[in-house]
């Protein structure tokens, strides 16, 4: 059985689009340089960071592992609620664990999208329905994260310490921002990209009509997506506590958001490199010692990324045995 990744969100009337690779080729080295700029200076404290990991607090470490496990339950809850046909919850949990294995092999989250699309097809969703559910899940994930950040920051902004900026030439910052802006401008100037974006927005608005009679399920899916973000942030929070660091929850939420942003923009499996750079940069900006920042980032990625490969591979093999994916 082969999980079809490229079919996600497509329909039979879609026109083939040829993308220009130049913007992506330019963006990748820029992001790589950004990651190196943040991570390389921390390698001097790498030995000290390993010391923090070796002497991590067991209670906090267990709590971080539990929170990581809860992310799969929350992710499954969203799909269970917004599915257009009846889904079995624990099969959906199994697929979320399995999709983490696939997601570690492919960039920008497309592995998880493909796995969930194939799962929905196997559960009697039509291609259009499966695409609609996956698209709405992604929208709820973004909306839930944004809503959570707005609520938490509004309530607890007074617990945020002043941001410590890295000592770097301001001209270099503006020059870097200018390069990124030029690359993005080139990307969106490509007519094929504009056509694809317009087609995606039209398709998404049409897909939302599938949910007009189930607003409460959409609301429940939003709550479940917020629970997913909360579980991830709590996992990172406990990882910081495990390496004897301290921070407020609202600060960890913003650091996690920065990590997700850079990880999503980094065209590597699971955002590898960009996500870690975002976490380390965020923690240091909020006055967490560099050794503890690096230790917390490595420990969190050990639980949420590297261990997920082994566990997800087992779940994927079991899901195939149970035939929960579509064979089409």
Average pLDDT rounded to a whole number, residues 193-210 = 66
The Cα 222–Cα 122 span in angstroms is 24
The mean-pLDDT minimum among 42-46, 115-119, 136-140, 251-255 falls in 42-46
User: Sign of torsion, CA 216 221 227 233?
Assistant: negative
Answer for the pair 77, 70: CB distance below 8 angstroms, yes or no: no
Answer for the pair 127, 7: CB distance below 8 angstroms, yes or no: yes
Query: At a CB cut-off of 8 Å and minimum separation 6, what does 192 contact?
Result: 17, 18, 19, 20
Average pLDDT rounded to a whole number, residues 263-271 = 71
Give residue 112's pLDDT.
75
Phi/psi for 266 (5° steps) reads -90, 120
pLDDT band at 240 (very low <50, low <70, confident <90, very high): very high
Instruction: Reduce the DSSP state of residue 162 to 3 states and report it.
Output: coil
Of 65, 87, 64, 63, the C-alpha closest to 77 is 87
Q: Which of 161-170, 187-196, 207-216, 311-320 has maximum average pLDDT?
A: 311-320
What mean pLDDT value characterizes the chain?
A: 75
DSSP H or E segment with residue 95? helix 89-103
How do the residues of the chain divide into helix, strand and coil, expressed in percent and rounded to 5? 75, 0, 25
Average pLDDT rounded to a whole number, residues 39-67 = 72
Q: Which of 34-48, 97-111, 235-249 has maximum average pLDDT?
A: 235-249
Structure tokens at 142: 């973004």
Tokens 């919850």 belong to 89
Work out the number of other CB atoms within 10 angstroms of the CB of residue 265: 18
Give residue 55's pLDDT.
74
Answer for the pair 300, 282: CB distance below 8 angstroms, yes or no: no
Structure tokens at 318: 């079991």
Give residue 285's pLDDT.
86
Does the pLDDT of residue 190 top 80, yes or no? Answer: no
The Cα 166–Cα 176 span in angstroms is 14
Q: Where are the domains of the chain?
A: 22-321
Does the pLDDT of residue 12 top 50, yes or no? Answer: no
Q: How many residues does the chain have?
A: 328
Work out the number of other CB atoms within 10 angstroms of the CB of residue 73: 18
The Cα 299–Cα 283 span in angstroms is 14
Phi/psi for 111 (5° steps) reads -65, -45
Answer for the pair 226, 75: CB distance below 8 angstroms, yes or no: no
Structure tokens at 90: 């624990």
The Cα 198–Cα 135 span in angstroms is 15
User: What is the separation of C-alpha 56 from the centre of its chain, rounded to a whole number of angstroms?
Assistant: 25
């Amino acid at each position: 059985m082969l999980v079809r990744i490229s079919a996600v969100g497509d329909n039979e009337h879609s026109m083939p689009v040829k993308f220009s690779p130049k913007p992506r080729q330019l963006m990748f080295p820029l992001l790589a340089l950004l990651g190196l700029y943040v991570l390389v200076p921390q390698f001097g404290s790498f030995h000290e960071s390993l010391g923090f990991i070796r002497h991590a607090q067991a209670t906090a470490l267990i709590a971080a592992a539990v929170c990581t496990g809860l992310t799969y339950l929350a992710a499954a809850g969203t799909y269970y609620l917004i599915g257009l046909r009846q889904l079995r919850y624990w099969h959906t949990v199994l697929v979320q664990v399995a999709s983490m294995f696939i997601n570690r092999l492919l960039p920008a989250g497309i592995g998880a999208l493909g796995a969930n699309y194939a799962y929905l097809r196997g559960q009697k969703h039509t291609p259009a329905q499966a695409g609609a559910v996956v698209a709405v899940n992604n929208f709820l994930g973004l909306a839930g994260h944004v809503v959570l950040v707005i609520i938490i920051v509004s309530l607890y902004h007074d617990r945020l310490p002043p941001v410590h900026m890295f000592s770097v030439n301001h001209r270099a910052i503006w020059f870097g921002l200018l390069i990124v802006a030029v690359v993005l401008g080139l990307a969106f100037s490509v007519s094929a990209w504009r056509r694809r974006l317009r087609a995606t927005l039209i398709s998404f608005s049409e897909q939302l009509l599938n949910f007009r009679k189930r607003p409460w399920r959409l609301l429940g899916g939003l709550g479940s997506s917020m629970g997913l973000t909360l579980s991830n942030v709590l996992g990172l929070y406990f990882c910081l506590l495990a390496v004897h660091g301290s921070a407020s929850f609202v600060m960890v939420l913003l650091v996690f958001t920065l990590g997700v942003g850079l990880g999503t923009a980094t065209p590597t499996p699971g955002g590898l490199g960009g996500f870690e750079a975002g976490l380390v940069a965020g923690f240091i900006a909020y006055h967490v010692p560099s050794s503890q920042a690096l230790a917390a980032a490595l420990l969190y990625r050990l639980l949420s990324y590297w261990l997920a490969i082994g566990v997800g591979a087992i779940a994927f093999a079991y899901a195939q045995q149970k035939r929960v994916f579509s064979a089409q």
